[in-house]
Amino acid sequence: MAALWRRARPPPASGLCRTLRALSGKNEYDLLVIGGGSGGLACAKEAAQFGRKVAVLDYVEPSPQGTAWGLGGTCVNVGCIPKKLMHQAALLGTALKDAQHYGWNISQPVHHTWKVKYFNIKGSFSDPHTVRGLTKAGKETVVTADNIVIATGGRPKYPVHVAGALEYGITSDDLFWLKESPGKTLIVGASYVSLECAGFLTGLGLDTTVMMRSVPLRGFDQQMASLVTEHMESYGTKFLKRCLPTKVEKLKSNRLQVTWKNADLDKEETDSFNTVMWAIGRAPDTKTLNLETVGVKTNSETGKIIVDASEATSVPHIYAVGDITEGRPELTPTAIAAGKLLAQRLFGQSSELMDYDNVPTTVFTPLEYGCVGLSEEAAVQRHGSDNIEVYHAYYKPLEFTVAERDATQCYMKMVCLREREQRILGLHFIGPNAGEVIQGFALGIKCGATYPQMVKTVGIHPTCAEEVTKLHITKRSGLDATVTGC
């Protein structure tokens, strides 16, 4: 009887799908995208423009602290957008201070109030054309497609050997969704995520400490990175250098007591905080995708998916874009552009590949740091120090003068090849609106701009960006690089 019932029962959904596919020889969709973030949505929307049948799966696994959000991925929910708005909130605090120097009467003291606005199928491969998804309620859905794009991004890492880290700590996934101010905060790590968050928390008036085990902003130009942290220190952010946390405990007062090892003093130290945030890097969650079953290769160290220049994985018709991919910049515009170009190649008879060279970016610390192209270290490594010329300048933004703001870290440098044409290899800028400044110059550098062309470019006066067009002191000369007068 039981055997009869088993035979009469319809096959499970995934089996049904496979059966239908086997019968018709067709998949349901032209394209299935796993991950509805920056890269995935851009790819799906572009493919739909070509009239293709497209499906997107997106599922947000709640953070260990229980924070969850809806469609859109990291950037709009827990990344670029809330971060930039918090940065703006902090900048407004500084602007309020400046305003008094410009003659505005502002009744003191000015305080920030923490405000929050709330705005929610986990995909796993069962064969190379079939993805099985579970809704939050546990309902199974099965989707088959000719082409599949994996765009599942990454999530913040927790330190594995620090007792209490997972239990008591938060990450950037939680910070932007807190209902109450985080209070006195410790941020561990010296990545851009760490420094940006520490910057805006300090700017909002919170007692904020960054704990770093080695250098700040690894991978970025290190002279610029030092200026960024130097400015943050003068702005009020505390730094615990060459320190590694060992445990986090909850005190009766509900505060979190953190113990760490100070490598310079070779001793253990402790302090208590209201909030401990881990910003020690991000990791792809490839385990749940079941990639081994279908043969998609990953880097065993990073867990990221290995792709070629056309974003193809080791399995034909399976592609990957965005943060999940090995060796790509972890940035929203690169994920979007890569997703769009992939859809155009798949369905629009295009052969254009994503060009990952000279991608501009900005670290939104209190004094912003924008850059495009090579760091000075990378240029030296690639071309040799005799073959590069670095033009640099310390400058004072006009708006800092009336407000009597210190401009010690307002600095820029342009790294060029030294041969006759002096092609620009990298541009680095610390100062107000660095993202806005660097974006335009990035076009020139993408087009192969040279130093002579840059200095022939007429500046817009009075701006900070005009100083880029006036750079003339080389580092090699040893001359004072401080800009004076107009």
Write out the residues near ligand FAD by the rule CB under 6 A: 34-40, 57-60, 73-75, 79-80, 83, 122-123, 151-153, 172, 193, 285, 288-289, 322-324, 330-333, 335
Report the alpha-carbon distance of residue 299 to residue 69 in Å, rounded: 29
Nearest by Cα to 442 from 376, 351, 360: 360
Of residues 144 and 152, the one with the C-beta less far from ligand FAD = 152
Window 63-92: contact mask with ligand NA7 (x via CB under 6 A): ------------------------------
Choose the binding region for ligand NA7 from 75-83, 183-191, 372-380, 397-405 (rule: CB under 6 A): 183-191
Neighbour tally for 143: CB within 10 Å: 22
Which entry of ligand FAD, ligand NA7, none binds 218, CB below 5 to 8 A by partner kind?
Answer: ligand NA7
Nearest by Cα to 205 from 115, 277, 110, 275: 110
Which entry of ligand FAD, ligand NA7, none binds 74, CB below 5 to 8 A by partner kind?
Answer: ligand FAD
Nearest by Cα to 415 from 407, 426, 405, 423: 426
Which entry of ligand NA7, ligand FAD, none binds 151, CB below 5 to 8 A by partner kind?
Answer: ligand FAD
* Contact call for residues 136 and 43 (beta carbons, < 8 A): no
Minimal distance, residue 88 CB to ligand FAD, in Å: 12
Across the strands, what pairs with 269?
Answer: 260
Of residues 318 and 442, the one with the C-beta less far from ligand NA7 = 442
Q: Does 329 contact ligand NA7 by CB under 6 A?
A: yes
Neighbour tally for 2: CB within 10 Å: 6
Neighbour tally for 404: CB within 10 Å: 8
Q: Which of 281, 303, 435, 444 binds ligand NA7 (CB under 6 A)?
A: 281
Minimal distance, residue 474 CB to ligand FAD, in Å: 32
Minimal distance, residue 193 CB to ligand NA7, in Å: 4
Please name the residues in contact with 372: beta carbons below 8 A apart, sequence gap of 6 or more: 358, 359, 360, 361, 426, 427, 438, 441, 442, 445
* Contact call for residues 415 and 373 (beta carbons, < 8 A): yes
Nearest by Cα to 336 from 72, 144, 68: 72
Compute how many residues bind ligand NA7; rule: CB under 6 A. Answer: 20
Q: And the tokens for 342?
A: 């992939």
Of residues 281 and 348, the one with the C-beta less far from ligand NA7 = 281
Which entry of ligand NA7, ligand FAD, none binds 432, CB below 5 to 8 A by partner kind?
Answer: none
Q: Which of 42, 188, 442, 465 binds ligand NA7 (CB under 6 A)?
A: 188
Q: Is 461 a catalytic residue?
A: yes
Report the alpha-carbon distance of residue 396 to residue 392 in Å, rounded: 14
Minimal distance, residue 245 CB to ligand NA7, in Å: 7
Q: Which of 161, 392, 461, 472 is catalytic?
A: 461
Report the alpha-carbon distance of residue 234 to residue 436 in Å, rounded: 24
Q: Does 189 contact ligand NA7 by CB under 6 A?
A: yes
Q: What is the DSSP string of 206-236?
A: --EEEEESS-SSTTS-HHHHHHHHHHHHHHT
User: What residues are labeled active site?
Assistant: 461
Provide the binding-site residues for ligand NA7, judged by CB under 6 A: 159, 188-193, 212-215, 218-219, 244, 279-282, 329-330
